Amino acid sequence: MNLRDSCVPYRCPTPESLTGVVERITYHAEESGYTVARIQCPRAKELVTVVGNFANIQAGQTLQLKGIWKNHPQYGQQFEVQQYTETKPATLTGMEKYLGSGLIKGLGPVMARRIVAHFGLETLEIIENKTERLIEVPGIGKKRVVMIQKAWATQKAIKEVMVFLQGHGVSTAYAVKIFKQYGQNAIATVTDNPYQLADDIYGIGFLTADKIAQNVGVSPWSKYRYKSGLLHVLSQAAEDGHCFLPQPELMKLGAEILSNGGHQAEIEAISAIIEEMGQQQALMVEKGEGGMPLCYKPAFFYTEENLAQLLRQQLSLPVEVDLPRVRNWIERFTQSRGISLSPQQQQAVEMAVSSRIMVLTGGPGTGKTFCTRTIVALWKAMGKKIGLAAPTGRAAQRMGEVTGLEAKTLHRMLEFDPSTMGFKRDKDNPLPYDALVVDETSMLDLFLAHSLLKAIASGACLLLVGDRDQLPSVGPGKVLADLIDSGKIPIVRLSVVFRQASQSAIIRAAHQINEGQYPYLEPISDPAKSDCLWHNGGTEPEHGVQVVCELIRDFIPRQGFNPLTDVQVLCPMTRGAVGTRNFNQVLQQLINPPSPDKAEVSTRGMTFRVGDRVIQLKNDYEREVFNGDLGRVWAIDPVEQELTICFDGRDVVYDFADLNEIALAWSISIHKSQGSEYPVVLLPIYTSHYIMLSRNLIYTGLTRAKKLAIIIGSSKAIGMAVRQVNQQERYTRLKERLGVKLMEVWR
């Protein structure tokens, strides 16, 4: 394999123009507009396949297309449409086909033939401007004339919207989405307030809306622009885990993206807009310590406030338990199994059954799993109905295996309803459990934690299990850390590493990292000595790519592992030579190269091939797959335009139009790996990742390995990560809300 060739930058083909008549539609997704069609071009001997997004498309339409030619390995040459306009058919045959294609309600092929025979080349002019004359055609009555008139007006409106949007720099894909959302009001919406698009249409954010606004002539000082920009900054902050931003920080970041050349004027304008948004409750502005104004999007403010209230209510309910009887049960239980609990574990079991909410935390090898299993057994002996859940499918599966009871993902347990985009389980329809265990709670974000607490029955017990030293949730908040730091929740922290666990170098190294020590790593030259190895990958990231490939190709198979199923490359970042994007391209070629017997499909510059490992990028409640779920491409059907992925034994079907929901997963980010375990983990750590390097990042990545971990990179980068306790503190106030009463919100 030539690694240099795999990293050559891709050069975009030069756009070309194409004109032709649509002969047939192979596939059209109503929601997205994604279409595969066959068109007849002048002087072309064969039909041309075109793919792209169309608001509506029918056989017989004459289209002027702009795009690029691509050679698909399975389907051959295709024209990928970037922009299109419709023109009127110029021939009688073309008009017949166009009118009879089903484009216009009330007109079929027979009636279209009669109309064209009667009016000839004037047909389209008559339909557009003198529709009443259609009554001259035998078989057309007044009712049908009205139907044709309305349908033609609708088609004309679609065409006008598409021409307007594309004429103002809106891509065809977005133009289709805009038309689907607003219909004939699309032009008015885009002209009046294009920033509305960022709120209403998935995939169009502030930056895209801002470009559209510039093209349609919206003032850069528009209030719509400032409000949308500030909300965009808060949304970006939420992606970094923040629930709010201090007002000075919001103003600074807002000025950077809204800059019109006068920084001071920008700050003053933003300050005025924040005040106005606060009065309208488009923002919630709360006084923090020292009177600092803190700016929340309303949903974040009310969710955080209500979560704290639910926790306080649950904690206020008394628990009646006979502790001497509990201790007797523990003694009999442990003696009958020839096991013993440490003092910390004994405390955890007793506290769990005598508390409404308890947090059990600790690092790897400290016995969280053993302790949880004992608590579940005790609750079962007490006759309680027990529920087990975790944020991810794999974590839930592990939990079920350990306890012998069914465990579910939180989304499945809370019964998400796609029709309402909410959970069926809530305060009016609580979960039917007397006791509930939730594992991997470091992954709980603000909104999922809130949904969980809303659904817990009054008087039920909740055990939250997690390692606070792992990375916080991908979503906003740091719920587990805030609960622990609040001092209001009963906590047991297990700290003793048991002898059997201490024999694992992975666990020893993880605890060393967590304590701020440079971990002891055995050189890869002697793999028999350790399950945690070090490969000096030099200082150049490109060399790290080569090392990872060599390990997967040669070293890993010699250790008895299968590169196709057992190995996961975890990266601190997505970008760069040792980021997930580049690794996925390189590793796909290495582990699952193209083959005549493997179907594949290309989209957004990415190729998916049968056998590829993939990851879900967003929660898809209808398919019941969630952000971070890993699967394998099982089948690709070019006729039905469908791709089938197997997620933990369950087949899920995707339309080609929905492939933006998945990505290759030969390499994933450490953040995305939370809640999962892999037989072998390869961790490339380089100083080029310095922005992301932190102690809990490398700790989380290392503890994903079950049997073998190999760190590749520079010792300097590892040292940087170990010294950096927290890459960035998240702005949350759950801890404060659980404690003292907060100051009044500025309404």
CA distances from 153 to 44, 641, 646 (A): 33, 32, 46
Amino acid at 568: Q
- Give CA–CA dist 427/515, Å, rounded: 41
The DSSP letter of residue 504 is -
For the chain, the C-alpha Rg in angstroms (whole number) is 30
- Give CA–CA dist 340/335, Å, rounded: 8
Q: Contact 118/137 with Cβ under 8 angstroms?
A: yes
- Give CA–CA dist 462/460, Å, rounded: 7
- Give CA–CA dist 198/225, Å, rounded: 11
140 class by beta-carbon count within 10 Å (0-12 exposed, 13-18 middle, 19+ buried)? buried
Q: Contact 317/357 with Cβ under 8 angstroms?
A: no
- Give CA–CA dist 520/505, Å, rounded: 8
Q: Contact 626/392 with Cβ under 8 angstroms?
A: yes
The SS3 of residue 614 is strand
Answer yes or no: is 254 a known binding residue: no
Q: How many CA atoms lie within 13 A of 388 on its CB side?
A: 23
- End-to-end alpha-carbon separation of the chain, Å? 63
Answer yes or no: is 180 a known binding residue: no
Q: Measuring CA to CA, which residue among 130, 126, 119 is closest to residue 92?
A: 119
The SS3 of residue 140 is coil
Answer yes or no: is 539 a known binding residue: no
- Give CA–CA dist 36/26, Å, rounded: 5
Q: Measuring CA to CA, which residue among 630, 631, 629 is closest to residue 610?
A: 631
697 class by beta-carbon count within 10 Å (0-12 exposed, 13-18 middle, 19+ buried)? buried
Q: Contact 171/83 with Cβ under 8 angstroms?
A: yes
DSSP assignments along 519-587, one per residue? PP-EETT-GGG-SEEEEE--S-HHHHHHHHHHIIIIIHHHTT--TTTTEEEEES-SSSTTSHHHHHHHH
Q: Measuring CA to CA, which residue among 53, 101, 63, 86 is closest to residue 156?
A: 86
Residue 96 corresponds to which tokens in the numbers above? 């017949």
CA distances from 204 to 29, 149, 199 (A): 19, 34, 8
Q: Which residues contact 473 (CB under 8 A, 6 or more apart)?
A: 241, 442, 443, 444, 445, 448, 479, 674
Answer yes or no: is 26 a known binding residue: no
Q: Measuring CA to CA, which residue among 135, 60, 140 is closest to residue 100?
A: 60
Residue 603 corresponds to which tokens in the numbers above? 């989209």
Residue 156 corresponds to which tokens in the numbers above? 């004309």
Question: What are the backbone angles phi and psi of residue 650, rounded to the nearest 5°?
Answer: -115, 125
Q: Contact 666/591 with Cβ under 8 angstroms?
A: yes
Question: What are the backbone angles phi and psi of residue 195, rounded to the nearest 5°?
Answer: -70, -15
The DSSP letter of residue 121 is G
Answer yes or no: is 93 a known binding residue: no
Q: Which residues contact 524 (CB under 8 A, 6 or more apart)?
A: 533, 534, 535, 555, 710
Residues at the annotated binding site for ATP? 365-369
Known binding-site residue numbers: 365-369
